[in-house]
Structure 1
Amino acid sequence: MGSSNTKTRMHALLEKYFSGESIDYRQIVSLFTPILVDQAFLVCLSLVNTAMISSSGVAAVSAVNMVDSVNIFLINVFVAVATGGTVVVAQYKGSGNDSMVTKAASSTISAVTLFALCISVLIVLFFHPILKLLFGSAEADVFDHAGVYLVGNGISFVGIAIKEAISGALRGIGKTKVTLTLSLIMNFSYVFLNVVFINVLDMGVLGMTVAVNVSRYLAAICAIYYLVRLDDSLRFRIRDAFYLNMAMFKKILFVGLPFAAEQMFFNGGKILTQIFIVSLGTYAIAVNAIGSTFAMVYQIAPAALSTTTVTVVGQCIGRGNIRDARKFTKSFLWLASVSFVLMTAILLPLYRPLVGLFHPPEEIVDELFTLTLINAIAQIPLWPISFLLPAALRAAGDSRFTSMMSMLSMWLFRVVLGYVFGIVLRLGVIGVWLAMQLEWGVRGTIFLLRFRGEKWYRHRLVEPEGEEGK
């Protein structure tokens, strides 16, 4: 009897907060679950990889973390364009215009691959001056490792771009189980090869770069094979990717380019704060690296919710259902905060055994705990409104506003205050992170005010079936 009452209450709760006219909670759960599993694997495998490379010494883990900030900066440019594709595909799907869904998916793959190819060539040609400009103050052995790691990642960009573009298109139509499979193929092969190249063959950072290339191109090949041979929704053909549909490109880039610019400026600011940390020494880089990995663990469920938001809100907007778009966004915001509370309650007591995976010098363990504690508390109210909420605004086509506010808040608050707190006031890495959390609060408040108004959903990206081209 008690079990039946519990199920009834749970059903009523899910119906109230996660069902609407456009979509019900069962569809949301089927969308969210594969993305959650994918995000959990991504973060856990990142944690394992950081732990593995840490066995090669503090210089190696510092170099990987240092270059990863550059990699994230660059990869997010074409991932942003892929997100533009997801929004357009989702809105066409919601409007019922299936023929345009196919065109949007093909154009997404073309645009993202082209962006990645250009970035890859630039990195391979100019990696040394880039590293010298950004991290010239790093110690010699850290700098050498960083060069190998940056070039290796640059070569792999086209592979991950193809995988991300196809995954973005599939997420737009709700096929998240397929995107999960592609992600698992890429990440499991990456970890397996890392074990072979780092732990068995003792190849260190070089082994990591070989692993990342093999795994990303394997995932790209599998993604293309699925679209061409197995998928019956997008009806993609290889030759479609070589046809540039300029009208569709404009729609994708309307969302994707502002987001790409945001990612460049936003992650550029993060690189600048990374430069502050590099100037504090190798131990400070290690504290930041391990602290960032812990932060990603806390963000597993909220990050998955943020990705789900793009598809759900995009399809609601495509149907013209603003009420559902508002309702689901609010529900996701609260759910993200609750998940942070649960993760903090679970992970903080396990700090010592978890940090032991990274073999940190004893000198940084206490500082790392302080950093982790402050960030765990700050994330609960601030992360959802500063990351998940703009995903909802962007899904409605409000990309220019969200991108502009993100760029301004990053440079006016996180960068400036990061220097003041971390360097001038000598609070070190903790000071840089405090500035980051303050910036979350400023940015999130701006997005909340935008969400309360009406301008965010006034953009018209797609037309219902039969009206396109009139």
Structure 2
Amino acid sequence: MLQRKMKSAADEGRVHLVKPKAGNVGLWMLAWPIFIEIFLQTLLGTVDTVMVSRISDDAVAVVGISNQLFGALITLFTTFAGGAGILVAQRLGSGRQEDARTIAIMGVTASSVLGLAVSIILFLFADPIARSLNISRELIPLAHVYLTYVGGGLFLVGLTASFGAAIRNTGNTRGPMYTGVAVNVIHIVLNYILIFGAFGLPQMGLGGIAISNLISRLLGATVLMVMFCGAFERKIKLRDFGTFKRKLFGEIVKISWPLGLNSSSWVLSQLAIYSFLAMLGAKELAARTYLNTLESFCFTLGYAIAMAGQIRIAHLFGARKLTEVYRGAFRTLYIGLAIVSANVLLLFVFGKTLLGFFTTDQEIISIGVSLLALNLILQPSKMLNMAMGNALNAIGDTRYTMIVSMISMTVIGVGGSYLFGISSGWGLVGIYCCMIADEAARGLLVLRRWRGRKVLHAAEVESGGRQSVQGKGGKTLFKMNV
């Protein structure tokens, strides 16, 4: 009887019950699996960097600048998945399970098609791309190997990110975490075997990392696809990936294109900055790559808190619990700032020792140490920008964050870095100062926007002041723990 009533409600487009785990979640319960997953990804990047450093510092420089390019391209084909993830959380918050399922499918499909196109371009045009990144002539052969084979498999990263985003926004943050653990272990083991020629195999250098990446990413994408197909009340089948509903796809595009431009602008700005570093020299580029790895550890838990806050706020916004939405963003910010500040202080104290794990070149270590104090300002500024920016994205205010980000990153981030870092001769210190100014400017602007409550006021008027999803007879059908 209950099943027939729920089916009838779904057929008529009315709200129906959702899986409990999609709604009854708190910030920490969402955040800790995301933290473990991101931490392991960061650890994997660190292991890659350490292993590559045993090849040469030149190889580290190639991996560093190539990964910035990959980051920029990944945002292009995960744009739909990111926007779809926010809409999935909002739909689940309002109890519309079928719409959430359809949106998730279309987001993954669009990301997969774009990812495959990008991978083909990288595989076919590795050398021209390497030259456009200002990679020196002697490093082009190394760049060719890394861009061709790691870049050629980049669509697998898109698949993994797309499946993971959809699964996490249903409230299941543990599944992607467990998958990440397994993938990272496999990747590290394969790295050791293929790079250094264990068990009698030939030493493959960067080529070994490329093969290891492809195998581990393929396994991860396969596991997450299986998990994704069972993430909703109605199981997703292979034929469902051809699903297309124009109205829902229009909503994905509306929320996604600003997200895509925002993310792409950030990573492209970082890519431009890395090209400036390449102009300074291989040692500066290697120092930034090593320090960037250490900085990632400082920010990992703060990033996880920001991501969990976005999922939670999107669920609450879908349920029209607007007071909790507004307060929840500040709770996310305060927790994130406390964690990031403590971590970056530890980096300041132990940074020189940690840099010694990557290289014995005292000039590179000296360059890295000179930047440690600036991180005491840079990382908290990133947290402010991330927490409040994600909160705005969660309620659909993606155009504002896009406009602010594109202007600030172009003028302050890239323009300032070239002016002070290259033209004025301040080097890495000048570039870092501009990075701080960029993050702080964006953070303060999105904080001001959030305090203005423009979208929240509009949602309150639209919903007539209702703060929860009501069913027949006034019974609450969806509840989110605060």
TM-score (ref. length: structure 2):
0.86
Superimposed CA distance per residue, residues 109-135 of structure 1 (whole angstroms, 9 cap, x where no aligned partner): 111111211222222233222222222
Q: Is the 8 A contact 1:287 1:429 kept in 2?
A: no
In the alignment, what sits opposite 1:55? 54
Q: What is aligned with 1:221?
A: 222
Q: Quick check: 1:241 aligned with 2:241?
A: yes
Distance 2:323 2:454 in 1: 14
How much is the aligned-residue C-alpha RMSD, in angstroms?
2.2
Q: Could you tell me how far apart the structure 1 residues matched to 2:253 and 2:267 are?
A: 19
Counterpart of 1:142? 139
Q: Give ranges in structure 1 of 5+ residues lacking alignment.
A: 1-21
Q: 2:150 aligns with which of 133, 153, 163?
A: 153
More deviation in 119-128 or 42-51?
A: 119-128
1:119 maps to amino acid:
V
Amino-acid identity (%):
23
Report Cα offsets for 1:162-188 as digits up to 9, x if no partner. Answer: 221111111111000011122223322
Specify the SS of the correspondent of 2:280.
coil
Deviation at 1:157, TM superposition (A): 2.1
Structure 2 gap segments, 5+ residues each: 1-21, 464-468, 472-482
> SS in structure 2 opposite 1:358?
coil
Deviations 1:397-432 (A, max 9, x none): 011111111111000111111011111221111211
2:316/2:324 contact within 8 Å kept: yes
> What residue in structure 2 maps to residue 341 of structure 1?
341
Question: Matches of 2:403 and 2:411 in 1, distance apart?
Answer: 12
Letter in 1 for 2:371: L
Runs of 4+ aligned residues of structure 1 deviating over 6 Å after TM superposition are: 462-466
SS of 2:171's partner is coil
Task: Provide the residue aligned with 1:313 in structure 2.
Answer: 313
Which amino acid in structure 2 is aligned with residue 251 of structure 1?
E
Aligned residue pairs, count? 439
- How far 1:360 sits from its partner (Å)? 4.1
- In structure 1, the partner of 2:433 is 434
Aligned to 1:128, the other structure's residue is in SS state helix
Q: Distance in 2 between matches of 1:48 and 1:353?
A: 17
Structure with the bigger percentage of helix: 1
| CA deviation profile, 1:134-172 (whole Å, cap 9, x unmatched) | 22xx33332221121112222222222222111111111
1:366 equivalenced with 2:366 (yes/no)? yes
Matches of 2:131 and 2:470, distance apart in 1: 53
Are the equivalent residues in 1 in contact too, given 2:89–2:170 (CA < 8 A)?
A: yes
Q: Name the counterpart of 1:354.
A: 354
Q: Residues 54-453 of structure 1 correspond to what in structure 2 (within 5 A)?
A: 54-135=53-134, 138-200=135-197, 201-228=202-229, 231=231, 233=233, 235-380=235-380, 382-453=381-452
Q: What pairs up with 1:25-40 in 2 under 5 angstroms?
A: 27-40=26-39
In structure 1, what is the equivalent of residue 3 of structure 2? none
Cα distance in 1 for residues equivalent to 2:346 and 2:275 = 33
Deviations 1:215-263 (A, max 9, x none): 11111111122334x5454621111112223222222222222111122
- Which residue in 2 is equivalent to 1:3? none
Alpha-carbon shift at residue 51 of structure 1 (Å): 0.9
| d(CA) in 2 for partners of 1:459, 1:105 | 26
Provide the rounded CA distance (Å) in 1 between the counterparts of 2:208 and 2:263: 29
Deviation of 1:23 (Å): 7.3
Q: Deviations over 1:243-287 (max 9, x none)?
A: 223222222222222111122222222221111110111101111
Contact 2:116 2:155 in 1 (8 A): yes
SS class of match (1:174): coil
Q: What is the distance in 2 between the residues matched to 1:145 and 1:259?
A: 33
Superposed CA deviations along residues 419-470 of structure 1, whole A, max 9, x for unmatched, are 111112211112111111111111111111111112244677x99799xxxx
Q: Is the contact between residue 89 and residue 105 of structure 1 (CA under 8 Å) also seen in structure 2?
A: yes
CA contact (8 A) 1:262 1:403 kept: yes
State the TM-score, normalizing by the size of structure 1. 0.88
What is the alpha-carbon distance in structure 2 between the residues aligned to residue 142 and residue 234 of structure 1?
51
Q: Is 2:81–2:104's contact at 8 Å kept on the other side of the alignment?
A: no
The answer to which of 200-209 and 393-402 deviates more is 200-209
